[in-house]
Chain A
Amino acid sequence: MTARNYIDVYETYDRFAEGKKVSEKEWDYTIIPRNAQMMKERYEIDFGRTILPTDQDLVDRLFIAGVDMLITTGIFNPDLGTALSIEEDEIYEGLKMAPKKLKLGRGKDKCSCKARRGNTLRKPVIQGGPTGAPVSEGIFTQMIESYAQEPTVDTIVSGVLNTVDGHPASTNTPWEIKATMAEVRYNREATRRAGRPGMCI
């Protein structure tokens, strides 16, 4: 059936709230493995030993298997203990809303992220940084600056401060928020020091 509209995050919440009750244990141990196995068999997905696929039909079947997996299984919300559902037309309507290109950063340091469509000659955006790995407070800015000064790096991906003002940045505490704010400041300061103040973080 034709989708009424694309699903925004508010509609997604409503669907979770009205979704089917399911336990996390059942979701993890039964529903996901069973349905993934079912899709593998239904669409005859077999990679063999090839790392990058050379069989176009296999690639297309994998896409359809993924769509079917989402329709058949839905998405789980562990806080509400429910799973939402989505129809095929709603999926394609949502994919139409996705951008085909983005501008990342500001001014001369801005870079363009555009759909490449296969292995074109246009290189991907290179996002350099510790990628969520823990970094000491004392060297955080210097480390990020050293990434920002790399010519091949287009944007920055931050690391994680282990401490802020000497306090452990423990999860679900105000120190975690303070550490996150500090990371943002340190990252911006680092790109300025590297002479790339508009670099996307």
Chain B
Amino acid sequence: MDMSGLNMLAGWHGAGDIIMIEQMPIMGGYTGGPEETAICDVAATIASFALFNCDIHLDGPIHIRWGTTTTRETLQVAAHTAMALDYNTDLLLGNQYYTLAGPCTEMCLLETAAQALVDTASGRELLSGVASSKGTVQDKTTPMEARIMGEASMAACGMSIPEINRIVDNIVSRYEGNYLHPPTGKRFQECYNIHDLVPSDEYLETYDSALRILSDCGIDF
């Protein structure tokens, strides 16, 4: 935590604001593999409340090679961290979404749905997304990705952990072979009518196709 962060916290704390602290551990970096990263993630989350007085924490384990939150390893870090904290505290926990594929692609929607299942089943209270195309390309995010995040989350509520594990394993195996050449997708202006703010027919067809795949994997929408 640097002094800018600390000083902003002092201002917000004094003003009585609701404070959300965001912290994204890099899996495969200084912290090492999934287990070590999860240990650091638990420690940093606890510090966000016990030292920096936040009200809700926003996680986001990122894969050092792919720059996304939706890989098998980063989902594993997020799930274990959330369940360790959920079973032992009442802290409010969120997670954020960085996909490899861009909007208007099945892969982007499958990545998002897989993470929504994991975050919901591991007891998180808030899902925040989606920064498609790793959140780095201008205008390459659309509300359709947020829609699948919400729909998948609602479908996952109440399901057993072994069942979610089986479904997520199936979904991830359908996109993890595309990491070297992910579909780049389209910009918001190409996916939405900018005046009426409605999604394009192409995106609706892609969305329906992703829903069919997810249903085949075992999600009951």
Q: Residues of A with Cβ closer than 8 Å to B?
A: 6-10, 12-13, 16, 28-29, 32-33, 36-37, 39-40, 45-47, 50-54, 56, 58-60, 62-63, 65-67, 69-70, 73, 75-80, 84, 86, 90-91, 93-95, 97-102, 104, 113-136, 139, 142-143, 145-147, 149-150, 152-153, 157, 159, 162
Shortest beta-carbon distance from A55 to chain B in Å: 10
Q: Are A143 and B30 in touch, CB under 8 angstroms? A: no
Count of residues in B whose CB is under 8 Å from the partner chain: 102
Contacts of B89 in A (CB 8 A): 95, 98
Q: Are B120 and A123 in touch, CB under 8 angstroms? A: yes
A sample of 21 inter-chain contacts (CB < 8 A) reads A50-B165, A51-B76, A51-B79, A52-B168, A54-B165, A69-B43, A77-B6, A86-B50, A90-B50, A91-B50, A119-B164, A120-B157, A124-B153, A126-B150, A127-B127, A133-B131, A133-B138, A142-B192, A142-B197, A146-B143, A159-B141
Q: Are A36 and B31 in touch, CB under 8 angstroms? A: yes
A-B pair number, CB within 8 angstroms: 322
Extra contacts besides A97-B53, A124-B119 (18): CB < 8 Å:
A32-B40, A47-B34, A53-B80, A63-B88, A95-B46, A98-B55, A113-B92, A113-B126, A121-B158, A124-B125, A129-B129, A135-B188, A143-B142, A146-B143, A152-B149, A152-B154, A153-B143, A159-B141
Shortest beta-carbon distance from B132 to chain A in Å: 7
User: B interface, by DSSP: helix, strand, loop or mixed?
Assistant: helix
Q: Are A52 and B97 in touch, CB under 8 angstroms? A: no
Q: Are B42 and A65 in touch, CB under 8 angstroms? A: yes
In the complex, the chain A residue whose C-beta lies closest to that of B169 is A51
